[in-house]
Structure 1
Amino acid sequence: MSAGQLPRWVDYGLIPFLNLAAAFLVSGLVVVLIGENPLDAVQLLVWGSIGYGEGIGFTLFYATNFIFTGLAVAVAFHAGLFNIGGEGQAYIGGLGVAIACLALDHIVPWYITLPFAIIGSALMGAAWAFIPAWLQATRGSHVVITTIMFNFIASSLMVYLLNNALKKPGSMQPETRTFEDGGRLPFLNDIFPSFGFGYAPVNLSLFVALAACVLVWFLIWRTKLGFEIRSFGANATAAVYAGISPVRTIVITMLISGGLAGMMAINEIMGSQHRLLIDFVTGYGFVGIAVALMGRAHPVGIVLASILFGMLYQGGAELSFEMPNITRDMIIVIQGLVILFAGALEHMFRPTIIKLFTPSRALAEKEA
């Protein structure tokens, strides 16, 4: 182990745990300042998220969204790119899902519609990521700036389409018609009633998300393209010298990233809402950044981090109900602290831990 490197269990386990512990410690101080017991708050949060069947169902529902957006950010990370356009890509991905469902829901069953919804959402999300990717690769326009601008463009575009092109005739609501059964994914509670998920909207898209994790792992660590992506992200100059095309790598990586973000719409549009409507993304794309950072851009870590944020979303709702002093805004503050420590302050503990681990390892190697 060279200087500055850490054992994998430290890099992938200890440091994320310390970041999370620091976030909850500060959150506990916030709870104390508003006059509540932080231990009681933690107990309610945990019980509300995984203490009963319906809570677990809601936690898994939210986690499904975070898996897709976390994978999207992670794939871009591996190429040294920072895709923060997941919000817009997921939004436009919803258009692909809606088109598939509106066209097929009255003709075929859901299991025929689903592959078309997956393809449509991925294509739409990838298409929305293409222009920022092409500008980065050929014109040097920073992908952070272009993707965040495209979030606002996507929002405005969807408002226009839902008010002028896709709205149900005679309705004042900016949304499509409700899908027929052929455009609705079954809820897991209908398939596995013994799980007791109740009215939680967790649905079969959870398994689509888990399958995406496996495919991303295979792509990044078991294919030539994945090796090129990781090489370019590690050292772009050396990768170009080795014959890896920067334009091709940037564009393909961003297309994959955008496609994964777009697939988040399957869970919300086909799995839960059963119609395309305004603001169904509600910040999931930005949370995906923290999920990817906390999960170290690895599919297994992303699944675990997604479950954590799903617990915060569902448990936070229960907490604000049981403890009125802890309002929904306070829950957002707690979620923000976790994102802050897992994202912006992700390397806060790293220098100290490197000092603790590197000398002992170096001394052991010297004695050997």
Structure 2
Amino acid sequence: MGGETVYPESNSHKGLKAMKAFGYAAKSATSPLGPFQFERREPGPRDVEIDILFCGVCHSDVHTARDEWGGAVYPVVPGHEIVGRVTRVGSDVTKFKQGDLAGVGCMVDSCRHCINCDDGLEQYCDHDFTGTYNSVDKRSGGVTYGGYSNTIVVDDHFVLRMPDNLDPAGAAPLLCAGITTYSPLRQWGVGKGQKVGVVGLGGLGHMAVKLAHAMGAHVVLFTTSPNKIEDGLRLGADEVVVSRDADAMAKHNGTFHFILNTVAAPHNLDPFLALLRRDGTMTLVGAPGEPHPSPNVFNLIMKRRRLAGSLIGGIAETQEMLDFCGQHGIVSDIELIPIDRINEAWDRMVRSDVKYRFVIDMASLKQETRAA
């Protein structure tokens, strides 16, 4: 591929001690995922080693591995919705001990000293956060490898405490889909007495409906699929509107305090902006491969409406979200798969043929490595 950077199949640079790890990787933008052996660093004083039990499957895994956003570094081991058991901790780690249930989300490092990191907003680090996969590993000089693997070693600042009362497989997608939707709901003060819209009922949208409902808002789901009405109501929506029905949409014009748009495909934003009341906000969290058509500026200026965006959440807010989900018994609706079905799962996810998140059972990877 033009301009592609290829790293060695090892992260044991800069004199770090390393250990063998196993996972599934994409070797190119067009190759299927397949078994891959690589190296993780041995835990340092501030590190936590986690035996991965479950890893959620995010649409961004596909975008990255297929180089649809550019910048893919091969081989790519995806996965940033990770839940597992702590197996070792460094000498300076106090928050975790062996046997704890722990999670890792989209970030494994940041600069720690810019204004955004100081504010607990590591996702907006001025010097770029280190992604759980496909990022430059500051420790090794290699590339980070994600959760489609048997083990991971992460700085304790970026490790989360998982609520013990939640199903760990269903909780895995909270580390991305959960925080991606929770953060804007909290940022824009969603709560009782508010009318809140959720656009799209996929991996993100179904979490947004659950969370907004638990926050006490009146939740309206917008979907293009009439066959999702029943599911939307089951998940916590007070109303479901088929967005292709112009009359049904018009009945809600100018009434929403907040709309969370989770759709990851280019579409016309104006029909949804028209639903906002004065000073209402629509926040985008879906990341389409192509830009949305530009909205009509009069839809914004005539009611002082706002169009915004949001990117995951900081570590403190992610822990807050996990605790909130523990208190309210919220997990993702999932389909659990063995790792050898990951390519099929990706194809189905691209077709929106999943309700509503695939999660890999990593016991299947351990069986595969033992067989090998």
Instruction: Indicate the TM-score class for this superposition, using the shorter chain for normalisation.
Output: under 0.3
Answer with 1 or 2: which has the greater Rg.
1
Of structures 1 and 2, the one with the larger relative CO (CA 8 A, separation 6+) is: 1
Q: Given the two structures, how large is their TM-score scaled by the length of structure 2?
A: 0.23
> Greater strand percent: which structure?
2
> Greater helix percent: which structure?
1
Q: Given the two structures, how large is their TM-score scaled by the length of structure 1?
A: 0.23
